[in-house]
Structure 1
Amino acid sequence: MPTVIAATSADLVLPPTDQQTPTAAVFQSPDIQPLEDALTEMHVLLEQHGYVVAVYPSSVPPALEQRMFAVRAMLESDRIALLRSDLPPLGIAVLVRQLRQLSICDFSAGVVASAARLLSHYIYAGAVLNSVAKLDRVPVSLKSHAKSWVPGSQFAVLAGPSPQLLKIGQGAGVLGGPEFGTQLLIAKGQLQTEWVTGTLAPAWQVQGVQEAGLPADSPRWWGTGKLTEFAAFLPDISIIYQLVSSVRRARCHWCSMELIGDRCGFCSAPLPEPENQSGSSSVLNQGSSAQPRS
């Protein structure tokens, strides 16, 4: 059975892209699920799948993060990877779906877990906001804060892979985007704007636009409920597969899990410096066929 991918809320589990993409498990909040039930559920997942790779946003409530680490500690399991990400909620949802796609390919659990950091660099996650006055996760200048108080103002913000911010208006330009083929996922909140589909999508030359529900945590993450969140991503599993395959694999010196990149996804141990080398990411301009497990 493939490694199971887990998220911290059901709205971070996007619909599958095909019939092969598995769903994800969901870590329940402590105020919803008793600890005993959480332990039982995780034990069943480990028995059925062998390994669990959980991705959660850095904005997750402390109680939920503590619950996840407590479950792993009480089960005394080295087969649970807990991956904290600074991506905004819709970007997390995209990353979770990509890992779900990878989980049925011929990659070990260690490679799937460590691929999360690699794939995060290829997700362009942002939002259009009516105000940046309460935005504390992306650098905001005093001038932009002042403009937030002007009625009708709208701001385009990119959280990752590198932060950007601009005030939408005549001659404002557009956010710098990916230089490879992507699709765009949009989640509308309480803000009426056509800027994402009318300006951003054509400028980024996206190959398609999809809509999703706005994750419940998005207003808190962005500091306002008046937003439209978006994320551009690699849609083709064959390209994702080749991207991950192109990176040199190593064996963690601490827990012996296979990994790519510079850090183990399961125990977080860094790769010793002499071995910290990776392959080229030029595969974004090439084609390949994914190899799902039989």
Structure 2
Amino acid sequence: MPLAIAVTSPDQVLPDTGRPRVLVLKSPAEQSLEDALAETSATLEHHGFLLVLYPEAAQAPLVRRLYTVRAVLESDRIALIPLPLPPLAVAVLAHQLAQLTDPAHGPQPGPGIAASAARLLTHYVHSGALLGSLSKLDRVPVGVGSHLKSWLPGTHYAVLATPRPQVAKADRPPPGPDFATTLVVARGQLAADWPERTLAPAWRAQGVLQVPLPEASVRWWATPKLVEFAAAIFDAGVLHQLVASVRRERCPWCGLEVLGDRCVLCVAPVPPGIPAPSPPSPMRLVP
């Protein structure tokens, strides 16, 4: 029985991917605390564990609701995982975890490994946007010169948010992944085929998936004139190899196997053992 992967907005679920369903938790404005507790209890009873992904930039009432539900249920089987990613990239990571925990793609990782994998895979998502204005952007460092030039009509900028923030003119695509990815594209009010025509070839994307723009993207990028993109590994076999390549530890509090120095479920620190090597490039994981 696969553990449950949940997000906090319907537009954080990639449509038409044919993968296991990602659950959507309702906001405090849509659901009472009593109903949220009942729904979460039923999810835990059916799945055993619940991994909740949400953006670090999520609204405060939503974050308070998540922590309240976990505290009232007194459950260390709920992992609350804030992600330093733009909205579209959160949807992409939820899709990856759904693939990773799908029994159809091989043995399921344990709940501690799956929760830790969310932190690991964040480093392999290349996310950004093509913007028509940088004037109000504050989530990616932007130089004064770029700010001023972005006021010129027709100027477009390619902004990379993760894994290394960078701002470049659209005619010079930012450096991308050195491993096979699928490019996911969501359009706002900027009419441009730049992701398909320029970025996908430059990043050697294996495919391009068009999806609706998440509602939170306009607020995150501080402009409706954008095309958001995220490149990530969509091959379930490579995802399994990548997670399996990282040294595992045993959480001293709950006993689950985890990756890294902290258990995401019970939030206990994991004492350092033998230094773990850096995660390898996915290019070296497949023949």
Query: Structure 2 length as normaliser, TM-score?
Result: 0.94
Q: Distance in 1 between matches of 2:176 and 2:50?
A: 32
- 2:230 match: 231
Please name the residue that 2:118 is paired with.
116
| Correspondence 1:207 to 2:209 | no
Matches within 5 A, 1:94-105: 94-104=92-102, 105=107
Aligned residue runs from structure 1 range 65-84, under 5 A: 65-84=63-82
Q: Distance in 1 between matches of 2:5 and 2:59?
A: 20
- Secondary structure of residue in 1 paired with 2:273: helix
1:42 alignment partner, SS class: helix
Question: 1:261 touches 1:278 (CA, 8 Å); kept in 2?
Answer: no
**Residues 184-199 of structure 1 aligned to structure 2 (within 5 Å):** 184-199=183-198
Corresponding residue of 1:8:
8
User: Aligned pair in 2 of structure 1 residues 9, 117: CA closer, same or farther (>3 Å)?
Assistant: same
Q: Deviations over 1:53-96 (max 9, x none)?
A: 00100111100000000000000111000000011011000000
TM-score scaled to structure 1, two decimals?
A: 0.92
Q: Contact (CA 8 Å) 2:112, 2:264: kept in 1 or not?
A: yes
Q: Secondary structure at the match of 1:70?
A: helix
CA distance in 2, matches of 1:64, 1:97: 21
Aligned equivalents of 2:277 and 2:61: distance in 1? 36
RMSD: 1.5
Return structure 1 stretches of 4+ with deviation > 4 angstroms.
none
Q: Distance in 1 between matches of 2:130 and 2:45?
A: 43
TM-aligned CA deviation for residue 273 of structure 1: 2.6
Match of 2:42 in 1: 44
Counterpart of 1:11 in structure 2: which amino acid? D
Mapped contact 2:5–2:22 kept (Cα < 8 A) = yes
Structure-1 separation of matches of 2:280 and 2:98: 21
The answer to whether the 8 A contact 1:6-1:52 is kept is yes
Shift of 1:173: 1.9
Contact kept in structure 2, 1:158 and 1:165, CA below 8 Å: yes
Is 1:264 aligned to 2:263, yes or no?
A: yes
1:214-268 CA distances to partner (integer Å, 9 max, x unpaired)?
A: 0010000101111000011111000000000111111112332210123222133
Equivalent pair of 2:2/2:108 in contact (CA under 8 Å) = no
What secondary structure sits across from 1:96 in the alignment? helix
How many angstroms apart in 2 are the aligned matches of 1:67 and 1:238?
Answer: 35
Distance 1:132 1:282 in 2: 32
By how many angstroms is 1:278 displaced? Answer: 4.2
- Matched to 1:189, the amino acid is G
CA separation in 1, counterparts of 2:281 and 2:169? 33
Aligned partner letter, 1:183: T
